[in-house]
Structure 1
């Protein structure tokens, strides 16, 4: 049996410690005594310093007034709290940032300035070169973006087309047979004036009488002008002004912005009336919204092909400086079928069609590589 120290002689006694029986070596016992004295010394309560008392009192008073620094009693949790908030903030911000990184990885062209040199939005939104010959195919698919008031041509091939008159570029002028260069230039300019007045003039597009376009036509074509007057005054199935003029009912729709996208070309040759014959083939894209009601942007696409001639007044009974309108044709995309009130009627995805159901072919209204369909049936467009 091992001997134990007597009562009162333990490590915490004031009398010190006496070694037990010889069963414990002296060096081990001395080490035990030293450790015990050290533990007692370090665990004993200490009188706080004057500075510590001042700081404690100040903090206590601040706490009583509700001014305690956040987390002052929590020790290391202050730093952990900041780190945790930082992690939570990254978690919140990290989700959209990660999504953006994924989107940019899939489509780096979305970054402004195209820093990766992919030729993305700049190439996609850069204007197309002037059309000098018939395209060989329809425009490629566009991003499926919904048009808005700020971006009415989003998701349309027309986004890269020229604005308004800038899209009607006259071809290089040269003499045609006995017709001098100056007469050719005059014919081209008059044709452009007719196109602008019939399809781009803001007042005419909003339903007013297209005076500028009518002023280009030769009044010595009385039958033609009488028919156009009848169509504008009393539109109907047989006389509808939209066959030549782009017009919208201002009580029904309003244009979005001032831009009408335009693309096409002109060609010319020697005419059959001693002058120069011009063919114009142009497509116009009109973004509109309802005049009242939900703000929803839609587009109507109108393609027009005109054959005109600036005839020789010395040989034919014509008015100098006026055009003979020999033939005209049109193809209209996204307008109600069989409605002949003198206006184009765009259809919106949020509402059903207002005219007769389409029975004609399905076509791409942006496809300028094909001829205009001669069918009188109202068809369906693949996109607007």
Structure 2
């Protein structure tokens, strides 16, 4: 066989020539080269892996993935971006749902808080009216007792006190239903003004006069012995013997009381059938300085209203009938100039006194006050003529005089 020829077919036809490179490869190939270049068959494990990859590609194609690939292989950048966007959107939706839930929770908490505040406010406004009804204390229209007291009166009021709800007076609240419930108590409510020199009266004498004027108002309107109809020596000692017979006039009235000479014009005394409720007497009024009748002298005008809660002495029950007696009393005191009476004063020159009394039987003049009660016991009727008077109205002046007594038909006590 020569180079460049190849035996032909058995039929005897001539051979065909092959390219030189193929002939060179045929001559130079050895066993190792043939083994290296021969096609290799895949192992069983490789065939299984190839089948899995092929099946995964088919499933990915069925799902519509852009770049299907075997499990575990990183996704392309576009797929990772799409996944990040979806995750962020899911997180935003979750946060929005959580925020909405928190807002609903806060709204409920705020609504409950507002309701609690309103309920507390409503209870605070109505507790004073509800609690007495629950406990059975007080009468019709009863409310809690006022906790504040009016400041001292320094000038004449512009009008009468405002109306108060109708309430039944009790042993615990004897002034219920009365404007006097917010007035001062006893002697503490009698507050003289500051002492100052007045014309020819020195400051010391003015101070003495104001102090003695208060002592006289306490003795005539608040002294327990006088109120119970006992000794009146405390009043007599405060009246100067040169008071134009004032001390003698009082003594005569106590010994022989008449309608024209009734000692209750100057002092409050209750008859044996009445008894004060408690130890408190409500007081309202003022004390003022003015020009006196003597040369260079001064004048003190004491104008006070006393409210006495009373019950029948025979009624010792737990819920007695309680009424009130209201006495407005004025006392005028002269303070002469120091040159006329150089010594310190220890008694008062009374220039006049007057009283307006309400809540008592006006037809009795025995030197005592007789309160009117609604039920039981025949008493002398109060006068029905003339207009009614509000005994708590301190806006109107009282008449001047000596020993003047005005028993009025009260519009309220």
Normalising by structure 2, report the TM-score: 0.61
Structure 2, unaligned runs of 5 or more = 1-119, 132-142
Counterpart-to-counterpart distance in 2, 1:126 and 1:350: 33
Per the TM alignment, residue 369 of structure 1 is displaced from its structure 2 partner at its CA by 0.6
Per the TM alignment, residue 175 of structure 1 is displaced from its structure 2 partner at its CA by 1.2
Q: Secondary structure at the match of 1:309?
A: strand
Gap change, CA 1:184 and 1:111, over 3 Å in 2: farther
What pairs up with 1:88-237 in 2 under 5 angstroms? 107=126, 109-110=128-129, 124-221=146-243, 223-237=245-259
Residue 364 of structure 2 is aligned to residue 339 of structure 1: yes
Task: Determine the structure 2 residue equivalent to 1:368.
Answer: 394
Please list the CA deviations of residues 209-228 of structure 1 after superposition, one character each: whole Å capped at 9, or x if unmatched. 32212211111235222211
Q: 2:284 aligns with which of 256, 263, 266?
A: 263
- Retained in 1: the 8 A contact 2:360–2:382? no
What pairs up with 1:53-92 in 2 under 5 angstroms? none
Give the alignment's Cα RMSD to 1 decimal: 2.8
- Retained in 2: the 8 A contact 1:153–1:287? yes
- Retained in 1: the 8 A contact 2:359–2:371? yes
Task: Determine the structure 2 residue equivalent to 1:288.
Answer: 310
Residue 350 of structure 2 is aligned to residue 350 of structure 1: no
Structure number with greater Rg is 2
Q: Secondary structure at the match of 1:177?
A: coil
Q: Secondary structure at the match of 2:245?
A: helix
What pairs up with 1:33-52 in 2 under 5 angstroms? none
Please list the CA deviations of residues 263-284 of structure 1 after superposition, one character each: whole Å capped at 9, or x if unmatched. 1000012422343310011000
Per the TM alignment, residue 372 of structure 1 is displaced from its structure 2 partner at its CA by 2.7
Per the TM alignment, residue 359 of structure 1 is displaced from its structure 2 partner at its CA by 1.7
Q: Secondary structure at the match of 1:362?
A: coil
Gap change, CA 1:163 and 1:222, over 3 Å in 2: same
Normalising by structure 1, report the TM-score: 0.65
Task: Determine the structure 2 residue equivalent to 1:253.
Answer: 274
Per the TM alignment, residue 239 of structure 1 is displaced from its structure 2 partner at its CA by 1.6
Please list the CA deviations of residues 32-90 of structure 1 after superposition, one character each: whole Å capped at 9, or x if unmatched. xxxxxxxxxxxxxxxxxxxxxxxxxxxxxxxxxxxxxxxxxxxxxxxxxxxxxxxxxxx
Q: Secondary structure at the match of 1:171?
A: coil
- Retained in 1: the 8 A contact 2:355–2:405? no
Gap change, CA 1:172 and 1:160, over 3 Å in 2: same
Q: 2:347 aligns with which of 313, 318, 322?
A: 322
Per the TM alignment, residue 363 of structure 1 is displaced from its structure 2 partner at its CA by 0.7
Counterpart-to-counterpart distance in 2, 1:203 and 1:132: 30
Per the TM alignment, residue 360 of structure 1 is displaced from its structure 2 partner at its CA by 2.8
Task: Determine the structure 1 residue equivalent to 2:33.
Answer: none
Per the TM alignment, residue 111 of structure 1 is displaced from its structure 2 partner at its CA by 7.0
Per the TM alignment, residue 109 of structure 1 is displaced from its structure 2 partner at its CA by 4.5
Per the TM alignment, residue 149 of structure 1 is displaced from its structure 2 partner at its CA by 1.2
Task: Determine the structure 2 residue equivalent to 1:115.
Answer: none
299-308 or 315-324, which deviates more? 315-324
- Retained in 1: the 8 A contact 2:300–2:333? yes
Per the TM alignment, residue 240 of structure 1 is displaced from its structure 2 partner at its CA by 1.0
Counterpart-to-counterpart distance in 2, 1:373 and 1:353: 28
- Retained in 2: the 8 A contact 1:187–1:276? no
- Retained in 2: the 8 A contact 1:261–1:284? yes
- Retained in 1: the 8 A contact 2:201–2:297? yes
